[in-house]
Amino acid sequence: MSSYRGKVQQLLRAASVEVGDRVRVEKAGSVYEGVLMPRTELGDPNHIVLKLASGYNLGIKLGKGAKLVKLEKGKPPRLGIPPLKIKRDPSKPDVSIVGTGGTIASRVDYRTGAVYPAFTPEEIYSAVPELADLANIRVIEACNVFSEHMTPELWVKVGKAIAKELNAGARGVVVAHGTDTMGYTAAALSFMLKDLFRSVVLVGSQRSSDRPSSDAALNLIGAVTVAGKSDIAEVCVVMHGSTEDDFCLIHRGTKVRKCHTSRRDTFQTINDIPIGMVRGGELKLFRDDYNRAKPKGRVKVDGKFEPRVALLKVTPGMPSSVIEGMLKAGDKGIVLEGTGLGHVPESLFEGIKFAVGKGVPVVMTSQCLWGRIDMKVYSTGRDLLQLGVIPAEDMLPETAYVKLMWVLAHAKGVEEVSKLMRTNLAGEITPRTRPDVFLKPVFSLKAGD
């Protein structure tokens, strides 16, 4: 694979040089010797990249007066990790890892600087040897996309792969997923997997697994522990619980949200406390109101989703034409992320009325994220209730969005949509708001501060 183009590509061809070959470039009195590296599409097209023996990469502009000589044909990359052959241990639980496209483990070829994902159980064991003490690992790939490219169809594909593994006897399933839309997938699986009798654990990493400081290993160990040991028969997310490499939190799939662009502890349970935590292979549960695992069972995938649903963040002065446009585009349901307790500007009333009139349900969540919708306190709320807006309690906007997709594909008529949206189906609505669940300090200050 060479990403060189144009004139540089011609020069390379003329010298019969390919990526991976060792070359010498002489230019303006300087001599550089190294291995020709591939170039990213974004770079300036007139440069070539060499990796020097010292390990450094550098770019050389191949202009007039530059002389390029091939010194040695490139060697094909040697990718074989000596496979860590591990025999299945019948005393250990069988845990299946379902891949979706994120890399949970990887290794670096320092000769070329390329990063290779680990795919087979052997490769994963080699990267995270602790897993061998926890479970017998099986790896399947459900899809191969970045998490931002996930779709409702792919949610179903992942759901089917999970069900197949559980129904074939896996003690639990770990889903390796990119973090961006992990919350959406977790919610979708929560509504889709019926009669779930084992743990389904989504896991990812905020620091890529090719770096020594990656959070991937601790997260994966945590996820496999939950899948292999716990009696939680729910869809959950297991990720770093703090900025330290200490413990992971077990979040309920419908109450969890990515809250930080880059931190390890980006995932937070909103409006509730997590189910528990896992530290050093040990589980500690914070609550007992979760579905218990059963020795036997059969998961069914109820994977019908109405994809034509929109999630709209309300802003001051937003005109009704926004909603009218959505309806014109064919949306069958709208989740509003309203202000405060669940309000919108008057300018949006017309649009809402129009949608409800057309039989398109409008669901209200809050852009505050924390707290519960209450539309009876102020007149605007009462007006909106009058218009037929469905309050979504303390549901996360993203969860409400996924739920509305699922509900629309299952309910007969607006009445039932409204009823289902207000009914707790998969832990997405908590009946009471705990006083201890708002923006905990992320660092614990040292004593005395």
Partner 1 sequence: MELNYEKLGLRVGFEIHQELDTHKLFCNCPSALRDEEPRLEVKRRLRPTQSELGEVDRAALAEALKGKGFRYQLYPDSVCLVELDEEPPHLVNEEAVDITLEAALLLNAKPLDEVHTMRKIVIDGSNTCGFQRTLLIATGGRVEVEGKSFRVPTICLEEDAARKMDEGVGLIDYRLDRLGIPLVEIATGPDFFDPYTPAKAALYIGQLLRATGKVKRGIGTIRQDVNISIAGGARQEIKGVQELALISTVIEREVQRQLALLEIRDEIRWRGARRVVKKIIDVRRVFSKTSSGVIRSALQAGGTVLAVKLPKFAGFLGKELQPGRRFGTELADCAKLYGGVGGLFHTDELPAYGISQEEINGLRRATGAVEGDAVVFIADAKEKAEAALSAVVDRANQALGGIPEETRRALPDGNTEFMRPLPGAGRMYPETDIPPIAITPLRLRQIKARLPELPEKRRARLMEKYGLGKELAERMSLSENLELFEELARKSKANPTLIATTLEETLVSLRREGVRVEVIQKAVLEGLFAGVAKGKLAKEAVPEVLRGAARGVSVQTAIEKLGLAVMEKAELRKLVREVVAGNRELIERRGRAAIAPLMGILMERVRGRADGKLVHQLLERELKKRGAK
Choices 153-161, 213-221, 305-313, 345-353 (CB under 8 A): range interacting with partner 1:
213-221
The answer to whether the CB of 235 falls within 8 A of the CB of 193 is: yes
Query: What are the φ/ψ torsions at residue 255 (nearest 5 degrees)?
Result: -115, 10
Q: What are 174's strand-pairing partners?
A: 97, 201
Angstrom distances, CA of residue 230 to CA of 199, 236, 284, 385:
7, 12, 10, 42
Q: Shortest gap between Cβ of 40 and partner 1 (angstroms)?
A: 8
Q: With respect to partner 1, which residue has the nearer C-beta, 123 or 394?
A: 123
Cβ neighbours, 10 Å, residue 64 = 5
Q: What is the dihedral of CA 117, 121, 126, 132, to 10 degrees?
A: 140
Pick the binder of partner 1 from 52, 71, 145, 168 (CB under 8 A): 52
Single residue of 96, 103, 126, 366 touching partner 1 by CB under 8 A: 126
Count of positions on this chain that bind partner 1 (CB under 8 A) = 56
Q: Of the candidates 16, 54, 91, 379, which one interacts with partner 1 according to CB under 8 A? A: 54
Which one of 180, 210, 302, 374 is the catalytic residue? Answer: 180
Q: Is 266 a catalytic residue?
A: no
Q: Is 329 one of the binding residues for partner 1 (CB under 8 A)?
A: no
Active site residue 85: no
Contact window for partner 1 (CB under 8 A) among 57-65, 296-304, 413-421, 429-437:
57-65
Residues 267-326 that bind partner 1 (CB under 8 A): none
For residue 439, give both structure tokens: 């923006």
Q: What tokens were used for 184?
A: 């959406």
Q: Is the dihedral of CA 400, 402, 406, 408 positive or negative?
A: positive
264 touches partner 1 by CB under 8 A:
yes
- Among positions 239-258, residues that touch partner 1 (CB under 8 A) are 243-246
Q: Which secondary-structure segment (H or E) carries 309?
A: strand 309-313
Other C-beta atoms lying within 10 Å of the C-beta of residue 140: 13
What minimum distance in Å lies between the beta carbon of 266 and partner 1?
A: 9
Phi, psi angles (nearest 5°) of residue 96:
-100, 135
Separation CA 185–CA 357 (nearest Å): 31
User: Which residue among the candidates 94, 100, 179, 266 is catalytic per the annotation?
Assistant: 179
Given the complex with partner 1, which of 148 and 415 has the nearer CB atom? 148
Beta strands in 166-247 (DSSP E): 172-176, 193-194, 199-203, 235-240
CB of 270 to partner 1, least distance (A): 20
103 is known as an active-site residue: yes
Query: Which residue in 1, 6, 56, 330 binds partner 1 (CB under 8 A)?
Result: 56
The 79-118 contact track toward partner 1, x by CB under 8 A, reads xxxx-----------------------xxxxxx-xxx---
Site for partner 1 contains 443 (CB under 8 A): yes
| Residue 42 to residue 336: CA distance in whole angstroms | 38
DSSP-derived 3-state class of residue 215: coil
Catalytic residue numbers read 103, 179-180, 258
Residues engaged in binding partner 1 (CB under 8 A): 28-30, 32, 42-44, 47, 49, 52-61, 77-82, 106-111, 113-115, 126-127, 207, 209-214, 217, 243-246, 261-264, 443, 445-446, 449
